Amino acid sequence: MRSIIERLLQDEYDRFSVNHPRSARAHQAALARLPLGVGSSIQAFDPFPVTITRADGPFVWDTDSHRYLDLNMGFGALLVGHRHPRVMRALEEQLELGTLFVAPSLQAEKAASMLAERFGHPLWRFTSSGTESVMTAVRLARAYTRRRLLVKVEGGYHGHADPVLVSGKPSPATWGPASRPNAVADSAGVPDSVLHDTVVVPFNDPDALERAFLRHEGEVAAFLVEPVMENAGIILPSDGYLAKVRALCDRFGVLLIFDEVKTGLTASWSGASGLYGVTPDIVCLAKSIGGGVPVGAFGGREDVMRSIGVSVAHHGTYNANPLVLAAVIATLESTTPEALAITHRINEEFASSVRTLLDTVQDLVPTTVSTIGSKGSVTFSATPPVTYRDWKNSDLLAAELFWLFSTNRGVLTPPGLDEQWLISTAHTFGALDVYLNQLEELVGVLRRS
């Protein structure tokens, strides 16, 4: 099967290059000015990425005038779709009033109150990205507990700040024992001290977490975890895992930080925290709260959050600027429980159609489909992944074929293979047909091969 997949993939890369001449030229020009020809390394792939010129609702258009169904949706940021009318109106109104005051605005308290209602935390601060939310939460936890160590999950990505660029995508050559993984730097330039200050554990393994807490008793400031892992497809928490994590953190005086940058409102109205009924000490948000603008937020326990400004630094020229907060408020107003329930229903029906089609080639290409709230993902293995290593050991070549085949037929799913699809409030059943039709075509090709 592998050689068939390799051949089909080569055909698809040829077709991609032929059909995207303007993107190819745009990429050549960009290479002269931007490393990898892109503004963020996550946007790069070989032979060149598609250059997008505009977006609307569930669609984007590229510079070669192809229209795509967007299932990537800004890595899940665009829960309300591109150019949601309410978000657009709020932005336009705020443009008239000014974009940056670097002074308090009325929007900050309103947006914080709306997040407090959903997540139960009384105090909030805003940032410009998920990276900044997590980076500040980790600093806050270290300051509050006066402890040094951060425990994180292998395969968990938490942004591109030095303290968390550890074991995000380790390879078998360096990752060490499964139950006690090595701490591996994700980038050159991350100081060795970061590795010494970080302990890595597998996801879904409360015993390994307990052992780590025992080994470093009195030294661990925080356990940083995505309640659902969403940088390795979708890895759901096993039954009771998050509750056990909560209890262990309480027992060892460790702060629990939920990184809900990916889950957030895409998991439920009150995030994965609300869905699983487990309240962290600090929650980090970004992406889905902003309707497509660069924003993040973190909220937490009163006693923890009150350290900010007293002993803990949190600055930022753009934090809580009225322009992005206008979009946040409009997004929060638009993502009602009713609106989200519709996305969840469409997502479940879409996932079940995807499963039905993939089941026809299970003997050739084993797959599992996982969903959470408005998101879904295919893992190319016979059983659902429980840890990062399960995902890493899945058939990533088959994943690449399914991604490129859909790109060539008018659907953008994320290039990273580690991401998931998002059904936004702008996606309709009808719009999703283009994905299902090309999937039917591909499974037909595989069956005949």
CB of 295 to ligand PMP, least distance (A): 9
Task: Pick between residue 157 and residue 213 the one whose CB is nearest to ligand PMP.
Answer: 157
- Please tell me whether residue 159 binds ligand PMP under the rule CB under 6 A: yes
The residue of the chain with the least Cβ separation from ligand PMP equals 130
Q: Which of 149, 212, 224, 286 binds ligand PMP (CB under 6 A)?
A: 286
Residue 134 makes contact with ligand PMP by CB under 6 A: yes
Closest to ligand PMP by CB, 24 vs 150, is: 150
Q: Which amino acid is at 438?
A: Q
Provide the greatest CA pair distance for the chain: 67
Window 75-114: contact mask with ligand PMP (x via CB under 6 A): x---------------------------------------
Cα 299 from Cα 246, distance rounded (Å)? 17
Site string for ligand PMP, 40-79 (x = CB under 6 A): -----------------------------------x----
> Could you tell me the smallest distance in angstroms from the CB atom of residue 209 to ligand PMP?
18
Q: How far apart are CA 50 and CA 47, in angstroms?
A: 10
- Distance, in Å, from the CA atom of 36 to the CA atom of 42, rounded to the nearest integer, reads 10
Decide whether 205 or 226 has the Cβ nearer to ligand PMP: 226
CB-nearer residue toward ligand PMP: 263 or 270: 263
Task: Give the contact letters, 18-37, x = binds to ligand PMP (CB under 6 A), - = no.
Answer: --------------------
Report the residue from 23, 107, 129, 408 that binds ligand PMP according to the rule CB under 6 A: 129
Q: How many residues bind ligand PMP (CB under 6 A)?
A: 14
Quick one: which segment of 96-104, 151-159, 232-240, 275-283 binds ligand PMP (CB under 6 A)?
151-159
When binding is defined by CB under 6 A, the residue of 16, 157, 350, 435 that contacts ligand PMP is 157
Q: Which of residues 213-272 bind ligand PMP (CB under 6 A)?
A: 226, 231, 259, 261-262
Residue type, 381: S
With CB under 6 A as the contact rule, which of the stretches 92-100, 125-133, 240-248, 421-429 interacts with ligand PMP?
A: 125-133
Q: Which is nearer to ligand PMP, 52 or 445 (CB)?
A: 52
Of 105-113, 129-137, 266-274, 391-399, the window that binds ligand PMP (rule: CB under 6 A) is 129-137
Contact (Cβ atoms closer than 8 angstroms) between residue 353 and residue 329: no
By beta-carbon proximity to ligand PMP, the closer residue of 39 and 98 is 39
37 vs 290 by CB, closer to ligand PMP:
290
Residue 365 CB, nearest approach to ligand PMP (Å): 27
| Residues contributing to the site for ligand PMP (CB under 6 A) | 75, 129-131, 134, 157-159, 226, 231, 259, 261-262, 286
